Structure 1
Amino acid sequence: MMRCLTGRRRVPKVRARLVLRVAKIKNRSGEKVFFVGKEKYNCLKCPGYCCSYPNIHAKPKDIRRLAEHFKVSEEEAEKRYTEKGFKEKGMKKAPRVLRHQKDEHFGSICWFFDTDKRRCTIYEARPEICREYPGRKRCGYYEFLKFERDAQEDPDYIAITNNY
């Protein structure tokens, strides 16, 4: 086991390699910026586009993590916080996914997303898929968002997509 960069929780060595490629630092203006490889993106300036994906998978270990977080049984966590998603191409069966709520920007967003603060309310207990996003050196939505904010000359502009 190795310590995560934040020092908050221990992660297996295999996962630590992935974590170590992501570094949180502050840029010149003091904002936290996430670097993955050579590319950078700032999740703190994003309105939560990835949380609006309709199928946010919840594997059994994610449901177990949610159960521990909310101090309920795994069966109760599955029943309360997940629902049957839709079967995607190449899947044998439809996955369990996190429930959604209405959102003014994206139509629908993860149930655990605070729509006022635009932040995850279960960050420490979030599913594996959320922990690994975007899984590459750059976030396509963040690049799009930066472009739109520059074009609109508004640093808080939220570029919506028809993700509903």
Structure 2
Amino acid sequence: MEQLPCKGCKGLCCGPVSITAKELAKIKKKIKSMPARLRTNLEKQTRYHGTCIFYDVENDKCGIYSARPEVCKRFGYHKNLACFRNPNLAISDPYVQEDEKIGVLSIDFTWKDF
């Protein structure tokens, strides 16, 4: 599968990110196991409004990649989640989140919740 051209986007596509209860638990576990210095650095970064709180601006990548929500894994490859830099990759049917959404990162869940 061709990769998305994410480098240089500054996380503009990373939001809003809706999550499920299972994803929230996985993210909390990831944050809890993260070295304090790394967590603090990630938490203190300035992001564009609406960008996911876990987007690592300094390193231009997801700060919780191994625990990222399903919608992030699917981004760019589904018709309703097309990447503006390479929309031709979005050939799969629209993505529908199966589990119930409990909120959105950066809006309903912020660093104080972790």
Shift in alpha-carbon separation, 1:69–1:107, aligned structure 2, 3 A: closer
Unmatched segments (≥5 aa) in structure 1 = 1-21, 24-33, 35-40, 73-100, 145-164
The letter of the residue matching 2:7 is L
In structure 2, runs of 5+ residues without a counterpart are 34-44, 88-114
8 Å contact from structure 2 (residues 75, 83) kept in 1 = no
> Which structure carries more strand by proportion?
1
Describe the SS at the equivalent of 1:58.
Answer: strand
The CA distance in 1 between the partners of 2:23 and 2:61, in whole Å, is 19
Q: Which has the higher contact order (CA 8 A, sep 6+)?
A: 2
TM-score (norm 2): 0.50
| Residues 1:140 and 1:58: Cα distance change in structure 2 (over 3 Å) | closer
* Number of residue equivalences: 75
Runs of 4+ in 1 over 6 A off after TM superposition: none
* Counterpart in the other structure of 2:108: none
Does 2:13 correspond to 1:50? yes
Match of 2:69 among 116, 127, 140: 127
- Retained in 2: the 8 A contact 1:49–1:141? no
CA-based RMSD of the aligned residues comes to 2.9
**TM-score scaled by structure 1?**
0.37
Contact 1:113 1:119 in 2 (8 A): yes
Pair 143,131 (structure 1): closer, same or farther in 2 beyond 3 Å:
closer
Decide which structure has the larger Cα Rg and report it: 1
